C-alpha cells in the first residue's frame, strides 16, 4: 500500500473551515488506497501573533524560549486536524515533533534534523490511523523543543517521507500550497508560461534560489539526498501539480525547463584591490554579517591588482557601499564602482549538460529582442545574463519563447502513484 505524506501550509489551515477541507484531502487519498501521514504548519497568522507577544516581554527573546513559544502554533494545528479527521470518521493521532521521533541538534530556531525514529509513526499507520505531525519542530538531545527555521515544515514532511521510505512503494510527499505547481516562468510576467508536470531536484533548486518561492531549497535538498518524490500541488484544487523527482526520471529531452527573473539588482565592483590572501573572505564576511545576500560573484586579476564584482538586491546597495568603503579604507587601496538598474534573466535545465548550443540560443534570443547583455554567469544547468532593468521582462519573455517553454504543459502524465488517480 503506497504511503503518502501530505503537508499543509499555514494558509491551507488558516481557519477551521479550511482545516476541514484539508481533512477531506486526506480522506480522498485514503479512499484511493494510500496510507497517509500528515504534516501541518501553524494556522495563518499565529506565528506573527506569537512573535508580537514575545516582543512585548523581551527585546531579544532567547532562542530556546522562542522555540518553546512558536512550537505551540503547530501543536494547535495538529490537534485540530486530528479532530477534523475524527469528525469524518477517520482514526487519527496528533504528534508533536518530539513525539514523532524527530531528533535535532541543539541549534534553537535553526535546528537541523539529526535522526528520525519512526517507530511511533509506523505504529499509528499500522493501526490504520493517520499520524498528524507538527511541522517545523523537533526535540534536542536535552529534551528541549527546537524549531527548524526557514522551510521547516516542508523539510519535516520530506524528512518523514524519507524515513517512511515512501519512494519504495510508489508513494510521494505531497506539498499542498497556494500555487498550482512549478511553472516554466512566473505566469504574471509570461502569460503563456506552462505548468511543469515534473522537474528534477537540481532544476528546482536553481529555480528556487532564483526566486520561484514554491518550495524552500532546504526541503528540496533533503528530497534529493533521500530520493523522495515531491509533489507540489494546490491545496484547494484537485489537479495534479508538479513532481520533483530524480534527474533520470525528469524530461531529459527537454533542454530548458524554466526561466526566471530577478528584476531589480545592483552591481558592485571593487577595482585595484591588493592581491592579498583572504581578501575575498574579508569582503564577503563583512557583507554576510549585515545579512545581505550576494548574487553572482566574478573575480579577475590584472598584475598585482584584483577586481571583484558581485550583484545584490537593489535595496541592499547603500549598505553594501558603506561596508565596501570601510574595507577599501582599511586596505589603503582600491576603488568602488556601482551600477544600479539591472536585472537578471536565467534559464535552467539539466538537459544543458548534454545539449550544446543552449547558451548561444539564449544570447541570440536576447540580441534579437534588442537587449544588451552586461554580464554572463553559468553553472552546469543554468545560464544567467545581467541586463538593464527595463529589459528584464522582455528578456524573460524572449528566452521563454526561444526554448518553446509555452508548449511544455502538454507533456507526459505525472509518474508517481500518489497523483495517478487525480491525473
Euclidean distance between CA atoms 295 and 266, whole angstroms: 10
* Closer Cβ to a second copy, 1 or 17, answer by number: 17
Following DSSP, what letter does each residue of 216-275 receive, concatenated? Answer: -HHHHHHHHHHT--EEEEETT--S--EEEE-GGGS-TT-S--EEEEEEEEEEEEEEEEE-
CB 148 within 8 A of CB 156: yes
Name which position in 11, 32, 47, 99 contacts a second copy (CB under 8 A): 99
Among 38, 84, 204, 402, the residue binding a second copy under the rule CB under 8 A is 84
Dihedral sign, CA of 391, 394, 398, 404?
positive
Residues 296-335, mask of contacts with a second copy (x by CB under 8 A): ----------------------------------------
Q: What angle do CA 259, 260, 263 make, to 5 degrees?
A: 145
Task: Find the binder of a second copy among 5, 36, 38, 93 (CB under 8 A).
Answer: 93
With contacts defined by CB under 8 A, how many residues of the chain interact with a second copy? 38
CA 97 – CA 402 distance, rounded (Å) = 47
Selected binder of a second copy within 24, 33, 51, 86 (CB under 8 A): 86
Q: Which of 33, 48, 51, 62 binds a second copy (CB under 8 A)?
A: 62
* Dihedral Cα 293, 295, 298, 299, nearest 10 deg: 10
Interface residue with a second copy, options 6, 75, 156, 397 (CB under 8 A):
75
User: Interface with a second copy includes 372 (CB under 8 A)?
Assistant: no
- Nearest distance from residue 161's CB to a second copy, in Å? 23
Contact call for residue 20 and a second copy (CB under 8 A)? yes
CB of 20 to a second copy, least distance (A): 6
Q: Which of 30, 64, 355, 389 binds a second copy (CB under 8 A)?
A: 64
DSSP type of residue 414: P
Residue 193 touching a second copy (CB under 8 A) = no
Provide, rounded to whole angstroms, the least separation between the CB of residue 73 and a second copy.
8
Contact 54/66 with Cβ under 8 angstroms?
A: yes
Can you read off the three cell numbers belonging to residue 260? 526566471
3-state secondary structure at position 10: coil
Tell me the HSE value of 369 on the side-chain side, using a 13 A CA sphere. Answer: 23
Kindly tell me which of 78 and 207 has the beta carbon lying closer to a second copy.
78
Residue position matching grid coordinates 519542530: 137
Report 21-60 residues binding a second copy (CB under 8 A): 23, 50, 53-54, 56-59
The candidate with the shortest Cα–Cα distance to 327, out of 384, 289, 361, is: 289
Q: Which is nearer to a second copy, 68 or 373 (CB)?
A: 68
**C-alpha torsion sign, points 51, 53, 58, 59:** positive
The CA-atom distances, in angstroms, between 415 and each of 214, 244, 258, 273, 392 are 20, 10, 20, 53, 34
Per-residue string for binding with a second copy, 106-145, x by CB under 8 A?
Answer: -------------------------------------xxx
What is the smallest separation between the CB atom of 98 and a second copy, expressed in angstroms? 9
Q: Which residues, 138 to 157, sit near a second copy by CB under 8 A?
A: 143-145
Task: Point out which span in 91-99, 199-207, 213-221, 382-390 binds a second copy (CB under 8 A).
Answer: 91-99
Residues lying near a second copy in the complex (CB under 8 A) are found at: 16-17, 19-20, 23, 50, 53-54, 56-59, 61-62, 64-66, 68-69, 71-72, 75-76, 78-80, 82-84, 86-87, 93-94, 96, 99, 143-145
Amino acid at each position: 500500500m503506497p504511503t503518502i505524506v501530505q503537508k499543509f501550509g499555514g494558509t491551507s489551515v488558516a481557519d477551521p473551515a479550511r482545516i476541514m477541507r484539508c481533512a477531506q484531502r486526506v480522506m480522498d487519498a485514503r479512499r484511493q488506497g494510500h496510507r497517509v501521514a500528515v504534516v501541518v504548519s501553524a494556522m495563518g497568522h499565529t506565528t506573527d501573533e506569537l512573535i508580537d507577544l514575545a516582543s512585548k516581554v523581551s527585546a531579544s527573546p532567547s532562542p530556546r524560549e522562542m522555540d518553546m513559544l512558536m512550537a505551540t502554533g503547530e501543536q494547535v494545528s495538529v490537534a485540530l486536524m486530528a479532530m477534523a479527521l475524527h469528525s469524518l470518521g477517520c482514526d487519527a493521532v496528533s504528534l508533536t515533533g518530539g513525539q514523532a521521533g524527530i531528533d535535532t541538534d541543539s541549534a534553537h530556531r535553526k535546528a537541523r534534523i539529526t535522526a528520525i525514529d519512526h517507530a511511533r509513526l509506523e505504529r499509528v499507520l499500522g493501526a490504520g490511523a493517520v499520524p498528524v505531525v507538527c511541522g517545523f519542530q523537533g526535540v534536542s538531545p536535552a529534551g528541549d523543543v527546537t524549531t527548524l527555521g526557514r522551510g521547516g515544515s516542508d523539510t519535516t514532511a520530506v524528512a518523514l517521507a524519507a524515513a517512511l521510505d515512501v519512494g519504495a512503494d510508489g508513494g510521494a510527499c505531497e506539498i499542498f500550497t497556494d500555487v498550482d505547481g512549478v511553472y516554466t516562468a512566473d505566469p504574471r510576467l509570461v502569460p503563456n508560461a506552462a505548468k511543469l508536470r515534473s522537474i528534477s531536484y537540481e532544476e528546482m533548486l536553481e529555480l528556487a534560489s532564483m526566486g520561484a518561492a514554491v518550495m524552500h531549497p532546504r526541503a528540496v535538498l533533503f528530497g534529493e539526498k533521500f530520493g523522495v518524490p515531491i509533489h507540489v500541488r494546490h491545496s484547494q484544487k484537485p489537479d495534479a501539480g508538479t513532481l520533483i523527482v530524480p534527474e533520470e526520471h525528469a524530461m531529459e529531452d527537454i533542454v530548458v525547463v524554466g526561466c526566471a527573473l530577478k528584476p531589480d539588482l545592483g552591481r558592485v565592483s571593487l577595482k585595484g584591490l591588493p592581491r592579498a590572501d583572504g581578501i575575498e573572505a574579508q569582503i564577503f564576511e563583512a557583507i554576510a554579517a549585515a545579512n545581505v545576500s550576494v548574487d553572482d560573484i566574478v573575480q579577475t586579476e590584472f598584475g598585482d591588482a584584483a577586481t571583484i564584482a558581485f550583484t545584490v538586491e537593489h535595496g541592499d546597495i547603500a549598505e553594501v557601499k558603506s561596508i565596501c568603503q570601510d574595507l577599501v579604507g582599511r586596505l589603503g587601496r582600491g576603488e568602488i564602482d556601482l551600477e544600479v538598474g539591472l536585472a537578471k534573466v536565467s534559464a535552467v535545465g539539466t538537459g544543458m549538460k548534454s545539449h550544446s548550443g543552449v547558451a548561444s540560443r539564449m544570447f541570440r534570443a536576447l540580441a534579437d529582442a534588442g537587449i544588451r547583455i552586461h554580464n554572463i554567469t553559468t553553472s552546469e544547468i543554468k545560464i544567467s545574463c545581467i541586463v538593464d532593468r527595463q529589459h528584464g521582462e522582455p528578456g524573460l519573455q524572449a528566452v521563454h519563447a526561444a526554448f518553446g517553454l509555452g508548449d511544455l504543459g502538454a507533456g507526459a502524465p505525472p509518474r508517481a502513484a500518489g497523483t495517478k488517480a487525480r491525473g
